[in-house]
């Protein structure tokens, strides 16, 4: 699956694992403002996630179970994806990580 184009920018897909379910809409709004598609899973990652479209994995460490975090690490390693660990589930932490991903857009695998 190739990244989608939106005007002159390529839309990346980011997997966000953990976090606060009540903030999902805000996480998505942050991602959308940067032309990033967000796959968000709070409690578990369903089997069959299509890794071909993923560019980056974000893990909210304090609100992520060990098995989910380990699965995210294996997924990132298997497909050579960068992985970012967030210390908090705040909107600002997610926004900062997404902005860094957006700034590094040329160096991140599409």
pLDDT at 43 over 90: no
- Is-contact 14 34, C-beta < 8 A? no
Predicted TM-score of the model (pTM)? 0.81
Note the pLDDT of residue 28.
94
In this prediction, residues 33-52 reach a mean pLDDT of: 82
Between CA 22 and CA 59 the distance in angstroms is 17
Between CA 33 and CA 31 the distance in angstroms is 5
- Confidence grade of residue 51 (pLDDT, cut at 50, 70, 90): low
Sort 16 into a burial class: Cβ within 10 Å, 0-12 / 13-18 / 19+: buried
- The rounded percent of the chain whose pLDDT value lies above 90 is 41
In this prediction, residues 78-106 reach a mean pLDDT of: 87
* Closest residue by Cα to residue 89 from 68, 61, 56: 61
> Could you state, in order of their start, the residue ranges of all structural domains in the chain?
4-103
Fold of the 4-103 domain? Rossmann fold (3.40.50)
pLDDT at 46 over 60: yes
- Confidence grade of residue 11 (pLDDT, cut at 50, 70, 90): low
């Amino acid at each position: 699956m190739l990244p989608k184009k939106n005007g002159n920018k390529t839309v990346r897909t980011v997997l966000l694992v953990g976090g606060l379910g009540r903030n999902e809409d805000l996480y998505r709004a942050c991602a959308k403002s940067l032309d990033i598609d967000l796959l968000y899973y709070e409690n578990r990652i369903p089997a069959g996630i299509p890794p071909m479209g993923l560019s980056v994995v974000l893990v909210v460490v304090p609100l992520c179970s060990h098995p989910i975090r380990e699965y995210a690490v294996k997924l990132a390693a298997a497909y050579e994806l960068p992985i970012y660990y967030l210390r908090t589930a705040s909107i600002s932490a997610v926004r900062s990580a997404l902005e860094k991903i957006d700034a590094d857009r040329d160096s991140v695998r599409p």
